[in-house]
Amino acid sequence: LMILKQRCRLAGHPQCSDLKCYVAYFHIYLLTRSFGAKHDLQLSSPPLSHLLGALPMNGDDDNDKIVGGYTCDINALPYQVSLYAGFHRCGGALISSQWVLSAAHCYRRRLHVRLGEHNIAVLEGTEQFISAVKIIKHPSYKSVTTGHDIMLIKLAKPAILNKSVNTISLPSSCPKMGTQCLISGWGSTQLSFPNSLQCLKAPILSNITCRKAYPGLINNSMMCLGFLEGGKDACQGDSGGPVACNGILQGIVSWGAGCALKGKPGVYTKVCNYIQWIQNTMAAN
């Protein structure tokens, strides 16, 4: 029980009664488990699920997927990158020849950035593999459910821009509810992780709808996209990947409950709120 109490305090619930604290922390654990953010809330032994009893999980590693999407056209998304840490870890977006934007929960001390990829299982002749020399998380980031899930990566050298590798523009204003956006990544499909880049079109939901789906967990740094009826979503292998609305980078894949569940849309970092931080960080580094 002491382990749980300490973990609840770390998760931002120091004032809760013991029972409320445990439930709150376990709720956050469930929400983040399916989006590849488990390293932010690692559990001490014995596992939390054992202390609380064997409760069913909304998602597991076999259910982390883009669901209901389609294979993107080759060279259609030249800004899409793969963050490589011995395996495809996360997605990201090239915002200048030497900078990539991704999610803070994708952080690793060592990352390689793969650009110009479509089928990540084979060499197609369009790829550029560049090491990261600086990886900068937003200073206010603590965990995906507290927000500010955004990170800048500086490449060791500028990417060569061409039809397969190019930048995506940052927004000058925030997107409107109902805007149709394009989510992309190499997260797994229903049967397996795909080799080819997957795309999914989804609308931005209202703030009211988003907050109802995740009571007490949504703040101004987040927005929801997806379908309340379920069936279409983005998950673990897609984390950090871009949300492009009318060709502008408006979101970053962050977290959600399970995958493509009814009433549980995906939650995304709202890029328009971080333009000043992005510009200042790039200028200072």
The mean pLDDT of 236-245, rounded to a whole number, is 87
Annotated catalytic residue 96 = no
Cβ atoms of residues 265 and 233 within 8 Å: yes
**Same fold for the domain at 78-167+275-284 and the one at 180-272?**
yes
Cβ neighbours, 10 Å, residue 112: 17
What's the CA gap between 201 and 207, in Å, rounded? Answer: 19
Where along the chain do its domains lie? 2-57, 78-167+275-284, 180-272
Cβ neighbours, 10 Å, residue 173: 9
Given the residues 13, 88, 105, 138, select the one marked as catalytic.
105
List, for residues 55-91, the tens digit of each pLDDT value: 223 333 333 346 678 899 999 999 999 999 988 899 9
The CATH class, in words, for 180-272 is mainly beta
Give the confidence band of 238 by pLDDT, cuts at 50, 70, 90.
confident
Q: Between these two residues, 211 and 194, which has the higher pLDDT value?
A: 211
For the chain, report the end-to-end CA distance as a whole number of angstroms. 44
pLDDT for 44 equals 28
Residue 283 pLDDT > 60:
yes
The mean pLDDT of 182-209, rounded to a whole number, is 83
Annotated catalytic residue 112 = no
SS3 3: helix
The mean pLDDT of 176-181, rounded to a whole number, is 96
Annotated catalytic residue 239 = yes
Q: Between these two residues, 207 and 51, which has the higher pLDDT value?
A: 207
Given the residues 40, 149, 233, 238, select the one marked as catalytic.
149
pLDDT for 231 equals 55
Give the confidence band of 188 by pLDDT, cuts at 50, 70, 90.
low
Per DSSP, 228 falls in state T
pLDDT for 259 equals 67
List, for residues 252-271, the tens digit of each pLDDT value: 999 987 666 778 899 999 99
Location of structure tokens 């523009």? 169
SS3 204: strand
78-167+275-284 belongs to which homologous superfamily? Trypsin-like serine proteases (2.40.10.10)
Given the residues 164, 221, 239, 254, select the one marked as catalytic.
239
Cβ atoms of residues 239 and 91 within 8 Å: yes
Among 241, 259, 237, 260, smallest CA distance to 250 is for: 241
How many percent of the chain have pLDDT more than 70? Answer: 70
Residue 31 pLDDT > 50:
no
Among 135, 25, 142, 31, smallest CA distance to 90 is for: 135
The structure tokens listed for 125 are: 């002749």
Location of structure tokens 């009893």? 53
List, for residues 93-147, the tens digit of each pLDDT value: 999 999 999 999 999 999 999 999 999 989 999 999 999 999 999 999 998 888 9
What's the CA gap between 180 and 246, in Å, rounded? Answer: 8
